[in-house]
Structure 1
Amino acid sequence: MVAPPDKPDKPDNDVIRASALHFEHHDGSPALQGVSLGVRKGEVLAVRGPRGSGKTSLLRCLAGLDRPQRGEVWFDGVAVHTLSPLARERLRRDRFGWIDPAPVLVPELTAWENAALPLMLRGTGRRRARQAALEWLERLDVDGKARLRPHELRQSERQRVCVARALAVVPSVLFADEPTAPLHRAESAQVLRTLTTAARSHGVTVVLAAHGPQGAALADRAVTLLDGRRVTTLHLPPVTDAAESAGASGGTGTEGRAACSLSA
């Protein structure tokens, strides 16, 4: 059964808090239907669910990229849902990090320049920004590609640069929307371990959208979405290597969603 709209967990300790979020796509179809949750400072929270369950919409509302039609989003005492677009943009630049499912880099910049770009936009000097970027590229095993431009990198290498870019600024909250979708299983495990270990060592709060089990296994806690609502338990069929590869290459995931079952 679908759980009723719930109250955020321990709101006094939450750095991010959402209450009864409702959000619709441009075509009017519902993406979120009354989702509430709280994320504590320094916590790694996995948001699980099949594709189309509302994970990306939830992360975008929490990060201020989208404004919910109804409900509230609070970050460290700030009502994000009431901020102007410019104020939300400043909040994302100064306090948040974001990783997309597919790597998005500036084609004219090298790998290290892409990783250092958010730091330089915050006013960090070029030498210091370069050093921080190179340190993160090394942690993610792409420091040898630091001088190459995106078109010279494999997709998995470009995604590692995106992860380095998000971590280099040491954001207050890092939103990672299925950040290992383009990676193979072994690479995915390594990048997720690096991401979660680095976040914990630097006190970064992480909200991680996870389609497979790896992200949830490394998180401190997990919540599950189905059809835009929080649910108690979600049983998915085992993910085979073939299915995982199809998902990484842009599969819809409708087969897995059709096989979902809920337990009260």
Structure 2
Amino acid sequence: MADDNTDATPDATKDAIEEVRELLFGADKRVADVRIDQIDARLAQLYAVLAQLDGRLARLDPLPAQIDAALAQLDAGLAKLDAALAQLDAGLAKLDAGLAQLDAGLARCDVKLAQFDAKLALMDGRFTRMHGEIAEFDSRLDRFDTRLGQGLAALSEEKRANDARFQKLGARQDQALAETRAAEAKLAASVARLEQGLAALNARAVEPRLESLETALSAEVAPRLTRVEKRVEEDKRERGLGAAIGYSLRNFSLYRRDR
């Protein structure tokens, strides 16, 4: 086919244009030619890719019908799902009513719990006071136990002192009894000698001397007998006091073991 402006053929025109470009641009032309060749190669690749895409699109043409069928099935499933959701909504409505009743019950329970918490707070206050009183009572018991231990130690010491005193009193009593028995023996011997003397002498002559002798003996022995009786009474009283102290110590010991 001839060119519109010249009578030359397209190939001749192309060659002429190339010569003119070579004359005008030189190296730039050659670089541009290389760039154009690269673009042409890239376009050829793109055309090949487009051809592949056209083949794939041809294979994808049945997909809309398949998608429509799937959408129809999906619509049917959605209809079933809507029915199920309607039933679920009805169940949820019943559940909401039950939850409302449960909320009302929980509200009443909260009121009762608040009342119970108030009562517990009062009880906690009472328990706190009671614990304080118990702690104070324990402190008092400890002090009482300490004082009781001190008192028991003092009583034990006093008991040991009283026992030693009782032993001394017993020894003194035994000594007094021995002296009394010796005096009685001496008196009996004197009476025996007097009786023997009376048997040998005249009763009328001896009677004044016998009376004076009896008076002298009574004056000598009676005070000693009185002292012995007083010692015996004191010993009885002191032994009674020791028994009372021993009873008290036993009671205190039992009380401490019970604690």
Band of TM-score, shorter chain:
under 0.3
The structure richer in helix per residue is 2
Higher relative contact order (CA 8 A, sep 6+): 1
* Bigger Cα Rg: 2
State the TM-score, normalized to the length of structure 2: 0.19
State the TM-score, normalized to the length of structure 1: 0.19
